[in-house]
Structure 1
Amino acid sequence: MTTSQKHKDFICKPMVDKAVETLPGIGKVLGGRLRANGYGKVKNVENQFLLLGKDAAAFRQWLRDTCGANTKQSGDCYKCLYELCNLCCGNIQKRYIP
């Protein structure tokens, strides 16, 4: 599987208050649904990812339930957050979870 340009751009740029639509797999429609449920920023979705223990099945199901993401969309989003978390050597939890 190749990494999308959106994925590469997301990983390479600082995360300061990124909109949820910048996540791979999340476009305008899913982003709007996430915003409506209180997840308008990447950090909000990332927090949920961490609260679910970085578990692929749980996170992908949460995305399906919360915004209607399909298998590919939820997989792209999970892959990106997982990679981001690994790049940050686990320090990502310290930034967002009290």
Structure 2
Amino acid sequence: MSLSQRQLAFPGFRIKRLATVEEKFPRAQKRIQFLLRMSTTSQKHRDFVGEPMGDKSVTSLSGIGEILGKKLEQQGFDKAYVVLGQFLLLKKDSEMFSEWLKDASGANSRQAGSCSQCLREWCDAFL
């Protein structure tokens, strides 16, 4: 039903513009962007980003499986918070962190990018 048809069907009623979610709830915009990014991520990624880190294993990070996890553990990166520390030492620079992770564990670009994105989104949500 077009606007003119609505005006004919409902004479005397004024059609007003509906506010968007961002206009009505400006603080919700960041959360909406976060949720839209989550729709393209793995369940492992969503689980990690969705709650505090606590004492999680390094293998709970997105992109880090058993083999990469063992390589990182051998170098002293046994917990997710230790890897987060490295991410923060590199000033949250995703490119530098990805290069470090490739060198430290032999991760490929996709795995390193997934882990980097996971840590960045966790920082955005909790720091």
Task: Choose the corresponding residue for 2:50, options 2, 5, 12.
Answer: 12
What runs of 5+ residues in structure 1 fail to find an aligned partner? Answer: 92-98
How many matched pairs?
Answer: 89
What root-mean-square deviation, in Å, do the aligned CA atoms of Structure 1 and Structure 2 show? 1.1
- Name the stretch that deviates more: 54-63 or 7-16: 7-16
Q: Which amino acid aligns with 2:47?
A: D
Q: Identity over aligned residues, as a percent?
A: 49
CA deviation vs aligned residue, 1:18-73 (integer Å, no higher than 9, x gap) = 00000000000000000000000000000000000000111000000100010000
Q: Which amino acid aligns with 2:90?
A: L
What runs of 5+ residues in structure 2 fail to find an aligned partner? Answer: 1-36
Task: Choose the corresponding residue for 1:31, options 65, 69, 80.
Answer: 69
Measured after TM superposition, the shift of residue 14 of structure 1 is: 3.0
Runs of 4+ in structure 1 off by over 4 angstroms are: none
CA distance in 2, matches of 1:78, 1:52: 11
CA deviation vs aligned residue, 1:67-88 (integer Å, no higher than 9, x gap) = 0010000000000100010112
- Name the stretch that deviates more: 23-32 or 4-13: 4-13
Give 1:50-61 correspondences, 5 Å limit: 50-61=88-99
Give 1:1-98 correspondences, 5 Å limit: 2-88=40-126, 91=127
Q: Which amino acid aligns with 1:35?
A: E
Give the TM-score, by structure 2 length.
0.68
Higher Rg = 2
Q: Which amino acid aligns with 1:57?
A: E
Quote the residue 2:18 is aligned against. none
CA distance in 1, matches of 2:92, 2:52: 21
Give the TM-score, by structure 1 length.
0.87
